[in-house]
Structure 1
Amino acid sequence: MFHVKQSSNTSTAEYGVDTPLARELADLTARRKALESVTVRFDGPTRIFTISNQKGGVGKTTTAVNVASAMAELGAKVLVIDLDPQGNASTALGVPHTADLQSIYDVLISDVPLAEVVQVSPESPNLLCAPSTIHLAGAEIELVSQVAREHRLRTALNDYLSAHPTDVVIIDCPPSLGLLTINAFTAATEVMIPIQCEYYALEGLSQLLGNIRMIQKHLNPDLTMSTILLTMFDGRTRLAQQVAEEVRGHFPHEVLDTVIPRSVRVSEAPSFGQTVITYDGQSVGAVAYREAAVEIARRANDDNEKRH
């Protein structure tokens, strides 16, 4: 298993003094070195994640784009579908999403093939994005009268995947449970939930799990809640440690060992039209997201080996 903390062979003496900061730097150096030699396989069926949490501000879009970029760096062919009308995922991936461009809105409402709206991110030829535009804000109302309104994204995505081999699809959806989010749940095979390591972290999670069960029962029996990622973690606070322990206690198999720390670099990157993976790939936030991507991939490999 790929853990957030790697045993360090780097002596803190190299940094001149044995202090908490020196130990952190030594640990980060060891983790960077460990990532340099990592190899993972993406040889199973396409994994389709929807990133969801009905609580806002927990890092949904940040997690979507950085996990996607890290997986692309590992060699996976990754498609990000920006289903949030704000279009923040499109911005972070450096993909144009002005109102005059075709977008995921046209796929959902006008049956435009997904392949016609997908763009390649400047970050990597392996990283693709179906952008959002402001038109998506009205899609909730327009979808109401559409035939098979809950399945429109799933149909479009299946058509796309039949002609464009893709290892991972990541759907970034809005925090509310409307028809856009239901389309994301119906199209996905897995749910990834980012949980902020702060007070009220579990607020609304029981409702989200209830919604997932409802989707499983009525629309998508193949949907599983496979991954929980702890975000905005501050190891200096007792609260963050308590939240992490509580979440792991409730979901011991779903929570990744990797945690994402609070990081200025992670916050800065989108303003430059980049993920933190390309903005500052050696920063602690980038290292953590790369570790998370490795752990997600390796868990799938382990599960496939167990089945066979």
Structure 2
Amino acid sequence: MKIVSIFNQKGGVGKTTTNINLASYIALKGHKVLVIDIDPQGNTSSGLGIEKDQQENTTYELLLSETKIGEVIQKVEKVENLSIVPSNMDLAGADLELSYMENRESILKNKIQGLEEEFDFIIIDCPPSLGLLTINALTASDTVLIPMQCEYYALEGISQLIKTVQKVKKGLNKNLEIEGVVLTMFDPRRNLQLQVAEELKSYFGELVYENSIPRNVRLAEAPSFGIPIALYDSRAKGAEAYSDLADEFLRKNLGR
């Protein structure tokens, strides 16, 4: 079992879109996947058809009570092999509440132990900030997948993002590595985007995924129907891009 956090401290870079669609395609390709939504906005949950405000047990209960992981996991009805630990706005104050708890950075890691036989991959959707929720995710993870929009500000945020990963690696999770960088909302017709892409490739090298994600209206529409792009419009450019990204991810991790 491999645990991957999808993280970028900058919002609006396609983090949740990547979580929903990458996880869905990996599951549809025959692998058992658990998504953990650790973002208080709960957009991954609603994007996978979960009525997030009607849940008794969410990530909040998992982290801040005696609730066990098995009580929180739900099957995503429309996507075979995919399950989720949902989130909602109850989680908004969790950073403060976690700060008073013992072993506060390792709660998620401890809670998900024992799932090795049930899932091939756990994919965690982090909030776009560096609080205790994100630190819990990074402490529990083997790797970090970084969605990155090809714009000037993306370059400004790289060093801070790398420092964050290095701090967690040094103090809490010595095995944490960068899984890769995914270029999102990418338009190769724009010179600035091409320049930023080249700079990201010179910085991260082979960690930058060959398959990028284009701007695509159908991708933006799918979450409002509570389904991934694979079910909403499998022929859309965004669908093909995420299917190819999932193939590349699986090749990197499984060698095929």
TM over 0.5: yes
Structure 1 ranges of 4+ moved more than 6 A: none
- Is contact 2:28-2:80 (8 Å) kept? no
Instruction: Give the equivalent residue in structure 2 for 1:67.
Output: 22
- Is contact 1:232-1:261 (8 Å) kept? yes
Instruction: Give the equivalent residue in structure 2 for 1:84.
Output: 39
Cα distance in 2, alignment partners of residues 199 and 269 from structure 1:
28
- Is contact 1:99-1:134 (8 Å) kept? no
Instruction: Give the equivalent residue in structure 1 for 2:137.
Output: 184
- Asked if 1:136 corresponds to 2:91, the answer is yes
Unaligned 5+ runs, structure 1: 1-45
- Asked if 1:51 corresponds to 2:6, the answer is yes
Instruction: Give the equivalent residue in structure 2 for 1:23.
Output: none
Return the offset for 1:274.
Answer: 1.2
- Read off the aligned partner of 1:211 and give its amino acid letter: T
- Asked if 1:149 corresponds to 2:104, the answer is yes
Cα distance in 2, alignment partners of residues 199 and 277 from structure 1:
31
- Read off the aligned partner of 1:234 and give its amino acid letter: D
- What do residues 52-77 of structure 1 show as CA deviations (whole Å, max 9, x unaligned)? 11111001101011000010111010
Return the offset for 1:147.
Answer: 1.2
* TM-score between the two structures when normalised by the length of structure 1: 0.81
Instruction: Give the equivalent residue in structure 1 for 2:214.
Output: 261
SS for the counterpart of 1:58 is coil
- Read off the aligned partner of 1:153 and give its amino acid letter: L
- Asked if 1:105 corresponds to 2:92, the answer is no
Unaligned 5+ runs, structure 2: none
- What do residues 245-277 of structure 1 show as CA deviations (whole Å, max 9, x unaligned)? 111111112101001000001101001111111
- Read off the aligned partner of 1:203 and give its amino acid letter: E
Instruction: Output the aligned Cα RMSD.
Output: 1.2
- Read off the aligned partner of 2:66 and give its amino acid letter: D
- Asked if 1:278 corresponds to 2:231, the answer is yes
- Read off the aligned partner of 2:63 and give its amino acid letter: L
Change (3 A) 1:100 1:126: closer
Cα distance in 2, alignment partners of residues 270 and 203 from structure 1:
29
Return the offset for 1:301.
Answer: 2.5
Cα distance in 2, alignment partners of residues 278 and 74 from structure 1:
13
1:213 to 142, 149, 166: 166
SS for the counterpart of 1:228 is strand
- Read off the aligned partner of 2:78 and give its amino acid letter: E
SS for the counterpart of 1:292 is helix
- What do residues 144-183 of structure 1 show as CA deviations (whole Å, max 9, x unaligned)? 1111100000001113x15x52111110011110000000
User: Which structure is larger by alpha-carbon Rg, 1 or 2?
Assistant: 1
**Structure 1 vs Structure 2: percent identity of aligned residues?**
48
- Is contact 1:49-1:170 (8 Å) kept? yes
